[in-house]
Amino acid sequence: MNGRVFVIGLGLIGGSLALCIKKEHQDAVVVGFDINSEQARLAKMLGVIDEIAGNISDGAIDADLIIIAAPVNETKEIIQLLAELPLNPKVIVTDTGSTKSKIVESAASLLQKGITFIGGHPMAGSHKSGVSAAKEILFENAFYLLTPGNLIEEYKVELLKEWLIGTNAKFLTVTPENHDYLTGVVSHFPHIIAASIVRQTEKIAEAESLIPRLAAGGFRDITRIASSSPEMWKDILLHNRDTLIELLDQWQDEMNGIKTLLEKEKSDAILDYFKQAKKFRDGLPQKEKGAIPAFYDLFVDIPDYPGVISEITGYLAKENISITNIRILETREDIIGVLVISFQTEEDRQKAERCIGIYTSFATSVGT
């Protein structure tokens, strides 16, 4: 396919989509705009985009595909701006937001002018941000939800999929309302729970000084999604308010139920509660990419001597294996420490495990 693609927002998601389109549609011209001009300049320098637009109007006028990769509140404002422009009547406008109902509602202004808007949500991410973290493989095997309105013709949805074929994602078409409920259950609500556990622990830690030290390791891992952007999650929660209020009501019922089991010392019922949770959790797909980005971690036991960490990372660099994060769980004199190395993909984690196994005699254990 050829034509002009305009990407508004050159962060991780927008940049990665631009790379996917450039890879698959080499005759297309990819134009980019970002409110941060340095990000746009970097995107051009890295080859993520072909041209920089001076403003949204300049980039949008002649575009065949417009991708809005911006926070949900900004996306609504951009849609209203686009509705005031003399766009190509055949253009397809899509977005990448984590909520869909309110965004699709705001797109009525485009539909009234005969412009096709198809909501989109690539369910992939990374622990890094910015265009420098953009990758062609970011969406590979991830679910990509599309939310076309009732008036959108099917061939337009297929055309959008063709533009995005380079993502190698798994496309699913759902209603905006269904999207917000599904993502509310498996993404938005877990972020609330993680944040609430951290907040409760923080309050208890005011009287128990050992808690921050003991909360390292596993506690830190199970609550790591609480480190996501506060501004982004504020907007997501407000956009998906009704669904999340319903889920919070259900959660309170769930917690009251387990509280009653504890008060009445219902041993068998408590055992069954955890058995059922384990059964459902163990039955979840292990290799599927879901709503929350997976963590591909390698745990490496390392002796405590100067330069050991640079030695390990040097082995990985020699094999061109990139890492997304590295941290030490514990390292004290005369004992084995634990180095946690995070990777973008399961394939990179496995390559790293083989690499470290080849070059060192350190024991390794795997966690995801």
DSSP label at 169? -
296-367, what's its fold? VC0802-like (3.30.2130)
pLDDT higher for 361 or 351? 351
The sheet with strand 92-95 has its strands ordered as 51-52, 28-33, 3-8, 65-68, 92-95, 116-122, 143-148, 170-173
User: How far from chain centre, in Å, is Cα 315?
Assistant: 28
With pLDDT > 90 as the criterion, what percentage of the chain qualifies? 62
Q: Return the residue matching tokens 């387990």.
A: 258
Under a CB-based contact definition with an 8 Å cutoff, are residues 318 and 285 in contact?
no
Map out the domains of the chain as residue ranges: 3-174, 179-282, 296-367
Q: What architecture (CATH level 2) is domain 179-282?
A: Orthogonal Bundle (1.10)
- Tell me the two tokens of residue 84: 């005031």
Buried b (16+ CB within 10 A) or exposed e, 82-115: bbeeebbeebbbbbbbbbbbbbbebbebbbeeeb
Domains 3-174 and 179-282 in one fold: no
Is the domain defined by 3-174 classed in CATH 3.40.50.720? yes
pLDDT in tens, 61-113: 999 999 999 999 999 999 999 999 999 999 999 999 999 999 999 999 999 99
Q: How far apart are CA 249 and CA 166, in angstroms?
A: 41
Half-sphere exposure (CA, 13 Å, Cβ side) for 203?
5
Lowest mean pLDDT among 91-100, 278-287, 355-364: 355-364
Query: What is the model's pLDDT at position 293?
Result: 64
Under a CB-based contact definition with an 8 Å cutoff, are residues 184 and 248 in contact?
no
Query: What is the model's pLDDT at position 286?
Result: 67
